[in-house]
Structure 1
Amino acid sequence: MRITTFVLALLLATPAFAQLTPSAEWAAEVETRYQVSIDVTYMSQAGADLAMDVYSRRDVTTPQPTLVFFHGGFWVAGNKNTQIMNLMPWLEMGWNVVNVGYRLGRTSPAPAAVIDGFCALRFLNKEAARFNIDTQKIVVSGQSAGGHLAMAMAMIPHSQGFSSGCPAGEDPSVAAVINWFGVTDVQDVISGTNRNENAATWFGGVTEPLALAQRLSPMTYVRNDLPPILSIHGDADTVVPYAHGVNLHRALATTNVRNQLVTIPGGGHGRFTPEQRNMIYTTIQEFLMEAGL
């Protein structure tokens, strides 16, 4: 198991093995607390299996709050297997964690990644008992393109039809969104002033790309019945401009939706300092507690 290797590395790197630091003591307990299921197939497309990793609590008997995470890479790159460090704070908080892989845009253009996200959630709803998931406490999160996918899961109505090709089942509700510098206006990054070649690649060969981009943009679906949304964004981000976060939360401020934008002064596209990350996770915990999670 990958988590076992990670824990052993932490332990072996500890100078005084007999006197573990609090963080190392916690790491040593992870394997006992969690059942780790790697590469769980949630759907097959064109002969290829789409997989997720599931870290589920096995030291409790009641269903647990669950974090569903999507990696970044402008929808055309990235891999779930590189995300363990982004998952560790949630494991330390005692949450179940699901790390979702999805189709990438060079071979599977838009809206494939969004479809995969909806299908992953439907699979988790169906397998909730297996993984000890509280389906009323599912929080979605991700970074960059993954932040967009997290928002899409909570904001795009099922009436748009993106989940119609998923295996049969019911769609769970999303209890909250933790968006790390995600794209909120897809049109802007495929043809606007902030055009990105990777983002444009996601729409390669798509008929009427601007119309589809609007359907995939979180900004299109700002309304009163959304779950709480917290965004983290550096005001010096040159990849996904800070304006994406600002514009979303200005729009949310006109609704009844609980929302918060955490601005990182001088922050770029992630890679925040340890002090900034500590502040961010403290804010996340407070935000979720206020939301009853």
Structure 2
Amino acid sequence: MILKKLLKGIALVISVLMLIISLGVLGKDEWLVTQIATIFYPMMFSWVFIISLLTLVIGIYKLAKEKWNLKALSKMSIAFLLMSSTSLSATSIEFVHYRNAIVKNGANINLLSSMDAVGKKGIPDEKMVYATKEREELSISIYKPKQENLTELRPVYVYVHGGGWSSSDSESNANYHQMMKEEGYVSFSINYRLATDDRPTWDKQIEDVNDAMKWIYENAKNYGGDPERIFLSGESAGGNLALVYGGRVSEGSLDGPMPKALTVIYPAIDLKWTSENARFMTPSYIPGIVERYIGGSLEKYPERVKAVNPLTFVNKNLPPVLIIHGQKDTMVTINGSRDYINELNKLGVKNQLAEIPYSNHGTSARVNFDITMNFLKDIKGMRIEK
């Protein structure tokens, strides 16, 4: 009896969770339930569909046994029926919208895709120090395709990690680097000096990225990579740094190598918005993210804000730009990416903005990868032919 009650309780909790995810993605961005739902949706829409379908089938079976007499069912059975039918209907409609948006951007998914959205575990093959700054060794994580496959130099994938400019490291997205490695790219992930309360790094991190890119250009051949075929990526704060780097190199204010493409994921562009609104499973905004990076308030240091804003460096010499961004991002508004793309359109720079429905500050790794591969196929020499 106790076990039966326990199982029913677990089933009820799971059903409620499925309902929260399926309906929560439709709420206002600042709502906590919406944040939770949109954070988990890219990883769980398959499970929401399958669990809701199984619960509904069991409910219908019980109802059939009672000769379709709804009054004969327990209150809990009726609750399961209502929750499962609601979450199944909502998830099915949402999936069609989600899939259509992804197909439009050159990728594809099915109802089971979110089961492998996390990707594969990645471990770097090597780590090298590219510079020492303020007595801190700065390293690069390197992921190399199998040597027997390196009969010729391969395109190079370079990644700048996120973390609000003050946390995380080069292995924070290791599963994605592993996917790039298995695709045949020689992959490098950069560490840089992190901001602290007493050390703003608004002018240091871009210097580190520049030095790392020069190191990669000079050493790529040692790992089977072609230094003339580099594309630069990054997510969140790392996407911000990648866009600033690309803009400054293309305008001539940095002397690092020019990437053949910039492929970034939910980059931080509208810094004022992030300063005032950034949330991630929190009922109120998270203070100090941008302020720690620039060393004070945005009002006090407008020139620093300008120096770290990718929009400052938009110019016609930029390489092709891909931005992937969740429409429900509560850490970094998608409107910043839209503004950036609008500026590129005015200048005639090749670009693509992939807007992912029901996704927060974290989109499916598989979707990101497939959209990126589709984007690179139109850039000469950047797509590896199988």
Same fold by TM (over 0.5)? yes
> Would you say 1:172 and 2:260 are equivalent positions?
no
1:35-54 equivalences under 5 Å are 36-38=125-127, 40-54=128-142
Aligned match of 1:145: 237
What is the identity, as a one-letter code, of the residue corresponding to 1:48? E
- Displacement of 1:116 in angstroms is 0.6
2:293 is aligned to 202
Residue 85 of structure 1 is matched in structure 2 by: 175
**Structure having the larger proportion of residues in helix:** 2
Q: How far did residue 252 of structure 1 move? A: 1.1
Query: Counterpart of 1:222?
Result: 314
Deviation at 1:100, TM superposition (A): 0.8
Q: How many residues align?
A: 251
Distance (Å, rounded) in 1 between the aligned partners of 2:345 and 2:248: 18
Task: Give runs of ≥4 in structure 1 deviating > 3 Å.
Answer: 157-161, 185-190, 192-196, 205-208, 277-280
In structure 2, stretches of 5+ residues that fail to align are 1-115, 279-284
Tell me, yes or no, if the aligned pair for 2:325 and 2:363 is still in contact at 8 Å.
no
Higher RCO (CA 8 Å, separation ≥ 6 residues): 2
User: Structure 1 residue 239: deviation in Å?
Assistant: 0.4
User: 1:265 Cα deviation (Å)?
Assistant: 0.8
Q: Which residue of 1 aligns with 2:9?
A: none
Distance 1:83 1:279, change over 3 A: closer
Unpaired stretches in structure 1, ≥5 consecutive residues: 1-22, 164-169
User: Which amino acid in the other structure matches residue 138 of structure 2?
Assistant: L
Paired residues of 1:117 and 1:153 also in contact (CA < 8 A): yes
* TM-score normalized with structure 1 length: 0.77
* TM-score scaled by length of structure 2: 0.59
Q: 1:259 to 1:151 in 2, by over 3 A?
A: same
Pairwise CA RMSD: 2.8
> Deviation string for 1:167-215 (max 9, x for gaps)?
xxx632111111100112445545x676951111111169962102212
Paired position in structure 2 for 1:183 = 268
Distance 1:203 1:288, change over 3 A: same
How far apart, CA to CA, are the structure 2 residues paired with 1:143 and 1:253? 22
Cα shift readout 1:29-73 (whole Å, capped 9, x = no counterpart): x99xxx9212x0000012211001112343314221111111111
Q: Does 1:155 align with 2:247?
A: yes
Give the secondary-structure state (helix, strand or coil) at the position aligned to 1:82: coil
Query: 1:237·1:267 contact (CA, 8 Å) conserved in 2?
Result: yes
Identical residues among aligned pairs (%): 23
Matched, 1:280 2:365: no
Aligned 8 A contact 1:76 1:199 in 2:
no
Structure 1 letter corresponding to 2:261: A
Taking the TM superposition and a 5 Å limit, the aligned residue runs for 1:57-72 are 57=145, 58-59=147-148, 60-72=150-162
Q: Which residues of 2 match residues 87-106 of structure 1 at below 5 A?
A: 87-106=177-196
* Counterpart residue identity of residue 282, structure 1: D
Residue type at the aligned position of 1:199 = V
2:347 match: secondary structure: coil
Q: Does residue 211 of the first structure (1) align with residue 303 of the second (2)?
A: yes
Structure 1 residue 133 displacement after superposition:
2.2
